[in-house]
Amino acid sequence: MRTLIAYSTKGGACRECAEVLASRIPDATIYDLNDGAPDLNDFDIVIAGSGIRMGGAYRPFRKFLKENADALLAKKVAFFISNAQTEKADKIIEKNIPADLRNTAFIMRTFGGRAPFGKNKGDPDWMLTDAVEEFANVVNDAGRSAK
């Protein structure tokens, strides 16, 4: 199964999450949504992620979801966010991902985040690697069950 990991980042944390995730999913392609939108026809599973600033996902992520909603609803989809305030992840996901896509997703998680300022700036251990590992395992199982 071909898997797309599309992400939007400003400070690079979400890109790092996408790269670590891709290293755990065979045949995964990474795409930066800041460069536009990929052709979803080439993929069986679509994972979309965004950095979060002040509770909001970045515009390229929101635009991707809006412009590709019908195509995403017809695929296996999963979502992740990179946010420093992990205790607010559920509310952030609810605010930034439309209900129909949330209801279709087979997994949604936060991978933690690096605040542009504050207590974990410069901390190399900011990423929730257990969450990334769990997410990758669920995606890989979804890919195997679809074959």
Q: What is the pLDDT of residues 94-140, one digit of tens each?
A: 999 999 999 999 999 999 988 765 555 555 688 999 999 999 999 99
pLDDT single digits (tens) 36-72? 989 999 999 999 999 999 999 999 999 999 999 999 9
Q: Name which of 145, 120, 147, 135 is nearest 25 in CA terms.
A: 135
Share of the chain above pLDDT 90, in %: 81
Q: Contact at 8 Å (CB) between 104 and 77?
A: yes
Q: Contact at 8 Å (CB) between 30 and 19?
A: yes
Q: Name which of 26, 25, 52, 30 is nearest 110 in CA terms.
A: 52
Range of the domain at 33: 3-145
The amino acid sitting at 93 is: I
Looking at residue 4, what DSSP letter applies? E
| Full-model pTM | 0.92
Dihedral in degrees, nearest 10, Cα atoms 125, 130, 135, 139: 110
Domain count, the chain: 1
* Residue position matching structure tokens 């949330």: 102
Report the alpha-carbon distance of residue 145 to residue 32 in Å, rounded.
Answer: 27
Report the alpha-carbon distance of residue 86 to residue 30 in Å, rounded.
Answer: 24
For residue 95, the domain's CATH number is 3.40.50.360
Backbone angles phi, psi at 106, to 5 degrees: -90, -10
Residue 144 is predicted with a pLDDT of 84
* Residue position matching structure tokens 């504050």: 118
Residue 114 is predicted with a pLDDT of 82
